[in-house]
Amino acid sequence: MTGAMLQQVPKLRRGFRMQWEPVQNCHVLLYPEGMIKLNDSAGEILKQVDGQSNVAQIIASLSARFPGVPGIDEDILAFMEVASAQFWIELQ
């Protein structure tokens, strides 16, 4: 699935919205039933999810922003798999 995922375009699921929450001092993912606090890495990845860029482009963008981070591509792929399994994003 990982190789096929590179060409897929992630987008936030309907009803989900990401925003900076000053009180929490982090990005959060809001949905009708609640809120998910995101760590810094998850926030940086989800900021790239625009419904137009595919996973490979997101990896390239974050690799350029954070050069020298070992295994960043595997971390992003793992996050995409978890976010999809948790129904935070859709992969098209």
> Is the pLDDT confidence value at 91 over 90?
yes
Rounded Cα distance between 51 and 59, Å, is: 15
> Is the pLDDT confidence value at 32 over 60?
yes
pLDDT at 88: 96
Contacts of 8 (CB under 8 A, 6+ apart): 54, 55, 91, 92
Rounded Cα distance between 86 and 72, Å, is: 21
Rounded Cα distance between 92 and 89, Å, is: 10
pLDDT at 83: 97
pLDDT at 9: 98
> Is the pLDDT confidence value at 34 over 70?
yes
At 2, the pLDDT band (50, 70, 90 cuts) reads low
The domains found in the chain, sorted by start residue, are: 9-86 (1.10.10.1150)
> Is the pLDDT confidence value at 46 over 80?
yes
Rounded Cα distance between 70 and 7, Å, is: 22
Over the stretch 3-20, which tens digit does the pLDDT of each residue have?
788 999 999 999 999 999
